[in-house]
Structure 1
Amino acid sequence: MSDLQRGGNAPVPVPASALTVTLAWPQAGGVAVDVSAFLLDAVGRVRGDADMVFYNQPEGASGAVRFVASAGQGRFTVEPATLPDMVERIVFCVTIDTAGARGLTLARIDGAEITVAASGTVPAVRFRPALADASEAAMVFGELYRRAGQWKFRAVGQGFDGGLAPLARSFGIDVADVAAPTPVPPPPPRTVNLAKVTLEKRGQTVSLEKRGASFGEITVNLNWSRGRRGLFGGGAIDLDLGCLFELADGRRGAVQAVGRAFGSFAQAPFVALSGDDRTGDVSQGETLRINGAHWPDIRRVAVFATIYAGVPNWQQTDGVVLVTMPDQPPIELRLTEGRNDHRLCGVVLIENDGGRVRLTRIVDYMRDQRMLDETLGWGLQWVHGRKD
């Protein structure tokens, strides 16, 4: 079984019959847990209220998705072969019932997990989100998604405030048609759209406003297909994440594994690289952490990915960069259409736009970091470097 970290993805076995997706949690006294699944189209919306599968509507897509609840868990049976072509993703969510009235959060079910298995077999993948310090009452645990004809699972772990009604509304459900077993207080006035934002065209931008004192921790995760050994002329590819940074006081530089320039989260440049996954065996891939508490000190960050070792083949990496931060929709960028004669992909430009976080899609394939620097006008001095 493959244990994934947040943002990690892995292929799932698609048998002739069905997949079983199970969400399980420790049974804590007085805590009622609801699970739900939403069948989404290419833009992250349901086609109608029937695309929500939960305790009060246990079937969706004419029985292609079915739900059964029991003590301490909820189980979904998914038949990929019978799903409509318009359904490209199925997201699986957990909410604490009447959380607002009782002051409960997901921390009460720390240790909860989601697993995916071919029906009748042991789980192939598992994800356990970090809930010990969770302040939210709802979370998207994970998603099944269709990619190039193959089904995969991604560990999401995206939490937000509110109960079942605002969760359903975020995916386009008419909440008036969603029955609840008991009356619940209205959700707080703050609303968060959880539908994933995918930047698909070069130059496409999205701006995010602060919802509190700071943006919290901004994470940029690079992940790629698990089962790719032997596709790149022998060994596994070494796909690296890095960035150019410019601070508000004019200081500029790079954070990357080359030269062991891993940065720092607590002090300048307030950007840190989590590590260097040389084999692709680390399920969470590689992550840049940007300290949102110091966002006023940061002017811009240009994120890039490089193929450090192995034959350049961007299409077969199924690479994806996911930008996440608390109470904001995740931002996704895919690196699958690139030029195979270039080792570097400039992915996304993250800028401080009057206190907002503005993300602009680059996804342009280049020779190296120097060429990205020249394209964006950073003005750094470059020398040849190695990881060791």
Structure 2
Amino acid sequence: MQYLIPGQNTKLENPIITLRVEGCLGVKWLCLVFDEQQQIIHGQCSGINQSNEVTWLVQPFELADHVNKVKFIAYSDQSLASTVGQLTVLYTDTLADQPLFEVKAELVNRSESLLIVSELYRHQDKWKVRSVCQGFNEGIAQLEKQYNIALGQTAENAHQRTQKAAQPVVSKQPFTAAEQHTNPILNTITEDDLLITLSWENQLNPHDPINNVLDFGPVNDMRIGAFYELRNGQRGLVQSYGEARGSYYGVPYIQAISNEDQRIQQLQLNTQYWHKSYRVLVYCFILEGLSQWNKLGASIDFNNLDKININSYRCDQPLCAVAMIERVEQQYKLTPLVEFFDSLVAMDQAYGWQLPWYSQQENPE
């Protein structure tokens, strides 16, 4: 790992980096994005995502052409030195999970309440990292004066956004199989990712005679997955079983998450790259056991905005195509399906994905 002293810069060649800050007790952090005229760019910037209050995920080569510089700033209501002894910014290669650079700002004998610790900047179509460590005694007010802009509200919103709780939403009536193909719903894409969660009751009625006659065992494992198609025509699938788990920061910008202990199966869609998507077919399947779908109490929840219940008396087909998500500018159109299949190949053929299957009897696993 390379240690950068104030004023030192180095070339950045990694496509995705994680920037993590240390020294946060009583300290707030702010990321400012500048254009070529050194004017601050307001609003969300594609290619920069603050995943929590101490970590940014940055894809420099995904930034728009007019983005010229990104500054990472620490500030406090009082002098930073009265709160922490030093501030550290760590740059890590996200894909290789390897440390790259460290910028450390010693605060001993310093009186500033705001410090530009480090920055990324574009130079001749290449990106570089610089250790800055430039301080401002008057904090946000002095920074506002330098750039002739009101930053106080921007800085506070940036800090609050990383700590806010999930906003309450008005739940809609769940879709059922009888409503399939008839209720497409448009939802606006926000800064929050689209999180798709599979849940089920995992209970069978032990007194139901058919369970005893057909020797149905309790279903204790289900999984979620999706066929995806990008705007450039690239197609594939991700699912919370096997090796095709997808990628959140790279293609296809969908990650399958499985927590078997808590019985949580999810798909997380990175909406910063929604402009690269075309359509997503969400499906779920029974991994162990087999039973009538209506006895599982299975449902798919879309960010607590829309919920699709899977109610069917079918017991011969373990896969269910739940819904189609299509990109409509900055919105996504959700169309309930609730169709059942005995293999992924059959589901592919029904919706025209044309994936290169190795076997015509391909199963989810």
TM-score by length of 1: 0.46
Larger relative CO (CA 8 A, sep 6+): 1 or 2? 1
TM-score by length of 2: 0.49
Query: Which of the two has higher C-alpha Rg?
Result: 2
